[in-house]
Structure 1
């Protein structure tokens, strides 16, 4: 088990080396400049599209703009915002948050391009159903000779889109906040201790929680994207609001410290003094990794969900998609970071991941804080698991055909259980590494097709200026 864990650590560190960091951040800057800040200048129009003003019920697709955004936010607003920020602070120090901001700002441009392409170059699966995503816009936009790149993305997505990180962190907070003190659900009982799998064994409580999660998620994911979008559209906004209000309470109680910690984030981003070993490279790499894991800009997952949107105008979906990094990273992740910094939880070396955030909430809101976090974590994790299952089935659909895609859900629910009983280091690094593999074909394909997006955007906004459409 230790050998396997170290193998995943080395794989993730190698995958997230300088070339990929340059590709993600440099690519985002290129999109930003190449489009002449077009998506940012039309931010308001993106809100109008999201509100349903331009809804076209007869357009091809499965879900509306709001459901598409909710489905992707269900995946991105989750453990990456809560435990991912804690991991970033624990390893990279406050400066890592600055580099998460950078990924969000340039990620908005990246998502505009990827989500526009997801509609512009939709393809059809083996059953004739319209599909969108990097694998389709690579093959439809670049041609069949680029299909190996699309297949590479889909293979990486089969592992990268598993919910192991979510189930791992949800199990951890349930174990550490509800079960540990009272020894419930076999907290003190170890299974397979001393076996070839692990020296310490698996905690019985983790196994039970994992099985419960499998049952809950199975009720939704076998219903497909329509049921996922329906459930996410109702749960995600409520939980984001509850989480934000809770963190706002902690920040208001420590409002005088905001300038100090904001300055600490900015200065440490270029010194790396608070990072493990004081290495600036650790700060930058960890911040970008956690930022990419949180908002998923350039990874390609967002394009798969937005590719199912009911619209005939690719640019509209691009404008909706670009809202995600602003909500996910600039808002939710920043608030989590300030809560961890202000309460001093980030300096506690005895805790990591979600448990660090639980310490911050318990310190900031005694008695109730931990339980409010537990409610938010539960909903965030479950809704993330809903959406990721859709991503994985689309990857298998592309590789093996529509008649085989449902098999992925069986593998998916098994991975929920595996994530619940394994270590956080193994889970984080495996998923991180596969996210990196997904980013390579996504960014390469998007960069090559960028001129098509700019041409479509010019045409769209020219028609909008002429008043060719007021709604539909």
Structure 2
């Protein structure tokens, strides 16, 4: 075994351990604690989020960088995309239809978690080395918990640098475009695609640069246009498939519920596999408790932290309860999940759409995937930059940007199994400081929420 194989094996072991039972208990158990301690208050004020997203309470003079709706769109752009398509397919392939039920559980609990993490990201904003106001778990820890907890802030920022790389998105985007367009049209072959992949990688990097030079303000404006449009497009696409099989819908839901507690669809009938797969994939999908969402919500223009918490609650609902459920129904209703070994991830979802739309299925899927994958790339730059500035100061941020753009190009042309394992593992590490600080500061959020809803009629 050579060095790279040894490194990959070690990272795979690290990922399996990092996403083990302790972390799942921290995410779901911590979320349940937040739900109970809040007395389900966040769920009773979901209607208020609509007023906030419509701009009813916007004030351009409030501190922050972007309005509520742009902050939410930016946060969603970091979660929507391949995770909702490939992630759901992998969940069903690995854990059976019952895994979807446990993804729903993470979303329902994640509503409470995001309410707390986003509220704290505004409540405890700090200033970077340029004096600019910033939000995110590292600032929550520094400003809310004090110096003795500072190592947790550094842990999140370091893990963020490793977990928020663009390699996976650029690799998968280029691969999808090559397989769906270039190879069928005869432009390239599977064995001779380096220049094609490199060219697309450079185009992605240049396009990303055009957006990120405008910082969070331009990213927010970009996300608020792309995300809602692609969500609506995907809903129409999936509803077309669901409508085609409308008579089978009750049976699909029955299969999800029964398999969630039996595990019969999993090889060996292991119920624990169903639960673990659903919870881990749900956490990957909506990122509640990971902390990345706080980096976006902390930029919201508001003087009321609770308002951004209410806005953030919409994330798990859109991401997991709506988008992931639609993907799951498409896969289950078309029956492609039973086609045997070797078909999983985005290919499984593409096959599901092909069963109804024929050769247009994968192309229609790409219309949604590519813009959202690109929006994830630019959003991850913003997230990673905030972590970098926290660690090294704002003077050297151009260094991070150059490295990030190079990684977009490298991701397009190289097989990056090692880097992808690093990214997945670092996501788990980010959850530890995020959830620990959130649980420690949850009482202050409860006090702020009570005061806010008392003084805000109709909220």
TM-score band by shorter chain is over 0.9
2:336 match? 345
Quote the residue 2:58 is aligned against.
Answer: 55
**Which whole-Å CA distance do the structure 2 matches of 1:4 and 1:281 have between them?**
28
Q: Secondary structure at the match of 1:77?
A: coil
Unmatched runs of 5 consecutive residues or more in structure 2: none
**Structure 2 Cα separation of the partners of residues 89 and 425 of structure 1:** 22
CA apart distance, 1:236 = 1.1
Give 1:4 shift. Answer: 3.6
Q: Distance in 2 between matches of 1:169 and 1:427?
A: 13
Distance in 2, matches of 1:207 and 1:93, equals 37
Distance 1:427 1:280, change over 3 A: farther
Kept in 1, the 8 Å contact 2:167–2:416? The answer is no
> CA distance change for structure 1 residues 167 and 282 in 2, over 3 Å: closer, same or farther?
farther
Q: How many residues align?
A: 455
> CA offsets per residue over residues 37-95 of structure 1, 9 Å max, x none?
01100111121111111111110010000110111111111111111111212222212
* Residue number in structure 2 paired with 1:375: 367
Question: What is the distance in 1 between the residues matched to 2:419 and 2:348?
Answer: 17
1:360 alignment counterpart? 352
Contact 2:183 2:189 in 1 (8 A): no
Structure 2 residue 33 is the aligned partner of structure 1 residue 42: no
2:111: which partner in 1? 108
Q: Cα gap change, 1:207/1:86 in structure 2, threshold over 3 Å: closer, same or farther?
A: farther
Q: Give 2:309's aligned residue.
A: 318
Task: Report the RMSD for the aligned CA atoms in angstroms.
Answer: 1.8
Residue 84 of structure 2: aligned partner: 81
The partner residue of 2:180 within 173, 177, 187 is: 177
Is 1:436 the counterpart of 2:439 in the alignment? no
- Residue 96 of structure 1 and its aligned partner are, at CA, apart by 1.4
Q: Which residue in 2 is equivalent to 1:413?
A: 405
Matches within 5 A, 1:201-220: 203-220=194-211
Equivalent residue runs for 1:90-239 within 5 Å: 90-189=93-192, 203-239=194-230
Q: Which residue is equivalent to 1:196?
A: none
DSSP-derived class of the 2:251 partner? helix
SS in 2 for 1:44: helix
Alpha-carbon spacing, 1:418–1:95, altered in 2? closer, same or farther (3 Å): farther
Matching residue of 1:272? 263
Q: Deviations over 1:440-468 (max 9, x none)?
A: 00000000000000000011111114x9x
Question: Given the alignment of the two structures, is residue 243 of structure 1 paired with residue 234 of structure 2, yes or no?
Answer: yes
Give the CA deviation at 1:21.
0.3
Say which SS state the counterpart of residue 404 (structure 1) adopts: helix
Task: Tell me if the contact between 2:104 and 2:320 (Cα under 8 Å) persists in the aligned partners.
Answer: yes
TM-score by length of 2: 0.95
Determine helix, strand or coil for the equivalent of 1:184.
coil
Between the aligned partners of 1:119 and 1:168, the Cα distance in structure 2 is 34
5+ long unaligned stretches in structure 1 = 191-202
Q: Which residue of 2 aligns with 1:286?
A: 277
In structure 2, how many angstroms separate the alpha carbons of the residues matched to 1:209 and 1:432?
A: 25
- Aligned residue for 2:397, secondary structure, equals coil
Distance in structure 2 (CA, Å) of the matches to 1:283 and 1:158: 31
Aligned counterpart for 1:304 among listed residues 278, 282, 295:
295
